[in-house]
Amino acid sequence: MSLRSLKLPKIDFINKRKYAMIFSAFLLIVSIISLGLQGLKLGIDFTGGTLVEVGYQQTADLEDIRAKLASANYAGTNVQYFGSDTEVLIQLEPQSISSAKLSSSIIQMLGDGIDVRRVEFVGPKVGEELTNDGGLALLYALIGILIYVAFRFEYRFALGSITALIHDVIITLGVFSILQIAFDLTVLAAILAVIGYSLNDTIVVFDRIRENFLSTRHIEPLPIVNDALNQTLTRTLMTSLTTLLVLLALFYLGGEVIHSFAGALIIGVVIGTYSSIFVASPVLMWLGFDVPNFREKEAEKLKREKEKEKEKKKQAEGKKRERKTASTICQI
């Protein structure tokens, strides 16, 4: 089959991969530099400390609250609005006093016109354990994905998908580092969700690439991959756009509690959609994909599956004959 007989794509994604890689490299470098220099703004879940939510009858003055906390020797405080300008969230370093005494101290310091809504305490040891467990969760997820994709497709597909996932995670973390948005357990959950979402997009593209490899005799992988990317483009964009609509609604209407969670998902979905097109497939090409060898392996796999199916069918027919023979003997 000639190149002309192959249905050519409308957009030449593969020939634009160099520009995409330059753009990705820039984002990765900026993200890594930011993570190295200033790191993540870890939330109380990871650092440990005390979280105090207070309510005011009128608009709260954050600078005044910070000044009062500093004068009372509460070091390492973080004060911000929580949902509205009458709700304030105060994050303190771990305190040696009880929650009841801390509430009384906060009321006495800030005035009688406030209402302490909640006081939460996370010990430093718990925060350290959560940090370790969160890192292990990410590592195990990536290893599991690598094994699954290598078994389901081929090791080059696995390396392409893992490269795209690492790309997505680093850039998402980089955005949180640059903007110094609090990184807590909800954001970690969002990162894991982003890994799953990005992998789903990549698997859809890879599955179409595999189908195209097997359905045409053309041995040049570039036009086949381009065709697969264009065939799945509408599905990829529509899925991402509908997901983003829900996430934007959560971000703007869901309240302060899920801002970081929704924000991480929005960043991850955008980056994941980009990487499934411009990162995963080009990496597959750069690894030197051998189309004839792939077809031969797939043919052998299909042959083994047919033989297994034939053997199962043969065994089922044998058992059926045995039951029929036993039934006949019983009747005699």
pLDDT digits (tens, 9 = 90+) for 217-274: 666 777 888 888 888 888 888 989 999 999 999 888 877 778 888 999 999 999 999 9
Q: How far apart are CA 110 and CA 223, in angstroms?
A: 68
Q: Which residues contact 274 (CB under 8 A, 6 or more apart)?
A: 20
Position 202 scores a pLDDT of 86
Look at residue 190 and tell me whether its pLDDT is greater than 50: yes
Q: Which CATH number fits domain 14-41+127-292: 1.10.3720.10, 3.20.20.70, 3.30.710.10, 1.20.1640.10?
A: 1.20.1640.10
Position 242 scores a pLDDT of 92
Q: Per mean pLDDT, which range of 19-23, 190-194, 202-206, 308-312 is the poorest?
A: 308-312
Burial of 86 (0-12, 13-18, 19+ CB in 10 A): middle
Q: Which residues contact 142 (CB under 8 A, 6 or more apart)?
A: 162, 165, 166, 195
pLDDT band at 126 (very low <50, low <70, confident <90, very high): low
Mean pLDDT along residues 119-143: 72
Look at residue 12 and tell me whether its pLDDT is greater than 90: no
Domain residues of the chain, as ranges?
Answer: 14-41+127-292, 49-122
- pLDDT (tens digit, 9 = 90+) per residue, 96-120? 666 567 667 777 777 767 777 777 7
Residue 85, SS3 per DSSP: strand
Position 53 scores a pLDDT of 81
Nearest by Cα to 132 from 144, 142, 124: 124
Position 9 scores a pLDDT of 46
The mean pLDDT value of the chain amounts to: 79
Most confident of 35-49, 169-183, 219-233: 169-183
Position 8 scores a pLDDT of 47
Q: How far apart are CA 159 and CA 223, in angstroms?
A: 21
Nearest by Cα to 197 from 271, 278, 269, 246: 269
Residue 34 neighbours by CB distance under 10 Å? 19
Q: Please determine whether the domains at 14-41+127-292 and 49-122 fall in the same fold group of CATH.
A: no
Look at residue 29 and tell me whether its pLDDT is greater than 90: yes
* Token pair for 308: 């297994």
pTM: 0.73
Q: How far apart are CA 142 and CA 162, in angstroms?
A: 7
Q: Which residues contact 185 (CB under 8 A, 6 or more apart)?
A: 43, 45, 130, 134
Position 195 scores a pLDDT of 86
Mean pLDDT along residues 197-222: 80
Look at residue 1 and tell me whether its pLDDT is greater than 50: no
CATH of span 49-122: 3.30.70.3400
Q: How far apart are CA 6 and CA 164, in angstroms?
A: 28
Phi, psi of 195 (to 5 degrees): -60, -45
pLDDT band at 6 (very low <50, low <70, confident <90, very high): very low
